[in-house]
């Protein structure tokens, strides 16, 4: 597995800046067509190749391909999606009007021995407030690596999560979300095809996201965590197929921009604030949002065509062994796979009749249970199970999956060091009629 690290030492050593508020940079002075070279960021020497917003050291046979890819990413995310350019110092992020200076982001091609176990790293010049990329030579033209690091550089430019350790693991989740969006979604297609660049396969790792869906939603535990794989949640809240007010193409940027300054809160707290500012207009609670995300993951119905296609092809091989049978239509979740904080149990049902009814009983704690019902045409409908109970009449060709998400009130946690109470599964049992689980 590639390790795409954002060096904690470089990231976390940045002194915290005290600013009272970060207005959206709604008024943006027009950036220059060509950003200014700044070799001092990462100490650039020797040959180089420039594009409008980037500089690659050294100039060689890969340079043009690297620059083309990064320019397409800049076009898609900065010009198209409203991310703050990594060419801007994070130190100026608090101003309502961007006045620059705008610098080319430096990219350094390095030997594999320079970063054992990693394909690339994002480094930072904390004095300048600018990021630069180091990429192992074998990966200079690999978007899953280079655009991932570009995602780190944009996150850094957005500023508010710098030095906030409870956001730490989420930087990787965002970087893979950015890389996948670039590679495999229609969002960046225009920017890529303008440069003659191809689409590629989605980065989704269903064996982890679905097979280990019981894990904490973003878990940065070394070796067993899911923080590189958890990005479909970010995809869901950006694509927003449920049209929840407060969410949309700038959801992730707003989770950073509306972050409570220097609070070290979790990204979910910031997301909850985005939702609640819209609650009067039909918004969702964070618990409902997470519950519905997992319900949509029953059939990977998150507005991501390539992820859904991959689900269809891998579905039979995924681990759904979440329950133990108690007899008489009753099942209990295996304790090792009981859903932890904001994680879920995805439980495909085999219907034995046209009317499937379920009653979920949890051993204390709040959960969100949903029936996802997929029709023969591929469309999925969702039924909220109020207090864990409900039934559905299946039409011919329909199949149902029960999804139980552990959705308590938000807690503060560091995904790199999850406290035992956050990592504790929610025990539950389920009584099913008209189907087996």
Nearest to ligand NAG of 189, 391 (CB atom): 391
Q: In this structure, are residues 67 and 147 in contact, taking their beta carbons and an 8 Å threshold? A: no
Q: Are 73 and 147 in contact (CB under 8 A)?
A: yes
Q: How far is the CB of 375 from ligand NAG (least distance, A)?
A: 15
DSSP classification of residue 36: B
Residue 101: is the preceding peptide bond cis (ω within 30°)? yes
Q: Going by C-beta distance under 8 Å and a sequence separation of 6 or more, which residues neighbour residue 113?
A: none
CA distance 157 to 169: 17
Shortest Å, Cβ 393 to ligand NAG: 4
Contact 183, 175 (CB under 8 A): no
Please say whether the beta carbons of 61 and 137 come within 8 A: no
Task: Extract the tokens encoding 101.
Answer: 């200076």
Cβ proximity of 125 and 42 under 8 Å: yes
- Which residue has its beta carbon closest to ligand NAG? 408
Q: Is 279 one of the binding residues for ligand NAG (CB under 6 A)?
A: no
Q: Which residues of 325-352 are buried (b: 16+ CB within 10 A; e: fewer)?
A: eeeebbbbbeeebbbbbbbbbbbbbebe
Burial of 410 (0-12, 13-18, 19+ CB in 10 A): middle
CB of 406 to ligand NAG, least distance (A): 9
Grouping H, G, I as helix, E, B as strand and the rest as coil, residue 54 is strand
The residue count for binding ligand NAG (CB under 6 A) is 11
Binding segment for ligand NAG (CB under 6 A), chosen from 21-29, 75-83, 91-99, 385-393, is 385-393
Q: Using CB under 6 A, which of 26, 336, 409, 420 touches ligand NAG?
A: 409
Nearer to ligand NAG by Cβ, of 143 and 434: the residue is 434
Q: Which is nearer to ligand NAG, 307 or 437 (CB)?
A: 437
Q: Site for ligand NAG (CB under 6 A): which residue of 1, 21, 61, 386?
A: 386
Whichever of 230 and 371 has its CB closer to ligand NAG, that residue is 371
> Taking the complex as a whole, how short is the minimal distance between the CB of residue 371 and ligand NAG, in angstroms?
10
Which residues lie across from 417 on neighbouring strands?
Answer: 414
Q: Which of 81, 26, 76 is nearest to 239 (CA)?
A: 81
Q: Does 423 bind ligand NAG (CB under 6 A)?
A: no
Site for ligand NAG contains 426 (CB under 6 A):
no
CB of 264 to ligand NAG, least distance (A): 21
- At residue 421, the 3 state secondary structure works out as coil
Q: Which residues contact 297 (CB under 8 A, 6 or more apart)?
A: 209, 210, 213, 232, 344, 346, 403
Residues in the chain: 437
Binding flag, residue 142, ligand NAG (CB under 6 A)? no
Nearer to ligand NAG, 105 or 370 (CB): 370
Q: Does 391 bind ligand NAG (CB under 6 A)?
A: yes
Q: How far is the CB of 391 from ligand NAG (least distance, A)?
A: 4
Closer residue to ligand NAG (CB): 366 or 412: 366
Binding window for ligand NAG (CB under 6 A); candidates: 172-180, 195-203, 252-260, 389-397: 389-397
Q: Count how many Cα atoms sit within 13 Å of the Cα of residue 328 in the half-sphere of its side chain.
A: 1
Closest by CA position to 169, among listed 207, 225, 112: 225
Cβ 35 to ligand NAG shortest distance, Å: 47
Nearer to ligand NAG, 206 or 358 (CB): 358
How far is CA 198 from each of CA 183, 190, 277, rounded to the nearest angstrom?
A: 8, 10, 39
Closest approach of ligand NAG to the CB of residue 266, in Å:
15
Nearest to 90 by CA among 133, 123, 122, 126: 126
| Cβ distance to ligand NAG smaller for residue 262 or 433 | 433
User: Which range binds ligand NAG by CB under 6 A, 72-80, 145-153, 160-168, 384-392?
Assistant: 384-392
CB-nearer residue toward ligand NAG: 144 or 434 = 434
Residue 393 engages ligand NAG in binding (rule: CB under 6 A): yes
Site for ligand NAG in 303-362 (CB under 6 A): 355, 357
387 contributes a contact to ligand NAG by CB under 6 A = yes
Write the binding mask 362 to 381 for ligand NAG: x where contact by CB under 6 A, - elsewhere: ---xx---------------
Q: Does 127 bind ligand NAG (CB under 6 A)?
A: no
**Helix or strand (DSSP H, E) at 12:** helix 8-12
> Interface with ligand NAG by CB under 6 A: which residues?
355, 357, 365-366, 386-387, 391-393, 408-409
């Amino acid at each position: 597995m590639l390790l795409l690290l954002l060096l904690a030492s470089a990231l976390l050593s940045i002194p915290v800046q005290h600013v009272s508020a970060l207005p959206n940079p709604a008024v943006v002075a027009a950036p220059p067509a060509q950003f200014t070279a700044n070799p001092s960021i990462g100490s650039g020497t020797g040959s180089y190749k420039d594009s409008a917003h980037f500089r690659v050291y050294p100039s060689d046979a890969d340079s043009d391909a690297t620059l083309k890819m990064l320019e397409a990413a800049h076009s898609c995310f900065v010009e198209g999606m409203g991310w703050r350019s990594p060419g801007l110092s994070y130190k100026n992020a608090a101003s309502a009007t961007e006045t620059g200076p705008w610098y080319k982001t430096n990219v350094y091609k390095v030997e594999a021995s320079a970063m054992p176990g990693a394909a690339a790293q994002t480094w930072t010049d904390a004095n300048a407030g600018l990021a630069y990329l180091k990429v192992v030579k074998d990966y200079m033209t690999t978007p899953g690596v280079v655009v991932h690091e570009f995602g780190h550089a944009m996150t850094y430019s957005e500023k508010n999560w710098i030095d906030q350790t409870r956001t730490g693991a989420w930087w990787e989740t965002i970087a893979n979300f950015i890389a996948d969006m670039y590679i495999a979604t229609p969002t960046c297609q225009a920017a890529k095809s303008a440069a003659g660049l191809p689409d590629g396969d989605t980065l989704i790792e269903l064996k982890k996201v679905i097979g280990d869906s019981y894990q904490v939603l973003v878990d940065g535990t070394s070796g067993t965590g899911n923080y590189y794989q958890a990005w479909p949640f970010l995809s869901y809240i950006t694509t927003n197929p449920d049209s929840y007010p407060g969410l949309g193409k700038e959801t992730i940027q707003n989770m950073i921009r509306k972050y409570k300054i220097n609070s070290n809160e979790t990204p979910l707290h910031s997301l909850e604030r985005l939702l609640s500012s819209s609650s009067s207009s039909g918004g969702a609670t964070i618990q409902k949002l997470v519950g519905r995300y997992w319900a949509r993951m029953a059939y990977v119905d998150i507005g991501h065509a390539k992820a859904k296609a991959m689900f269809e092809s891998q579905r039979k091989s995924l681990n759904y062994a979440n329950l133990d049978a108690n007899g008489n239509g009753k099942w209990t979740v295996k304790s090792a796979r009981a859903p932890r904080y904001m994680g879920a149990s995805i439980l495909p049902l085999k219907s034995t009749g046209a009317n499937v009814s379920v009653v979920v009983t949890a051993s204390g704690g709040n959960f969100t249970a949903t029936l996802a019902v997929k029709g023969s045409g591929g469309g999925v409908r969702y039924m909220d199970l109020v207090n864990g109970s409900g039934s559905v009449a299946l039409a011919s060709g329909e199949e149902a999956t029960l999804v139980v998400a552990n959705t308590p009130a938000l807690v503060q946690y560091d995904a790199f060091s999850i406290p035992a109470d956050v990592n504790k599964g929610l025990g539950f049992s389920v009584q099913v009629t008209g189907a087996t689980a």
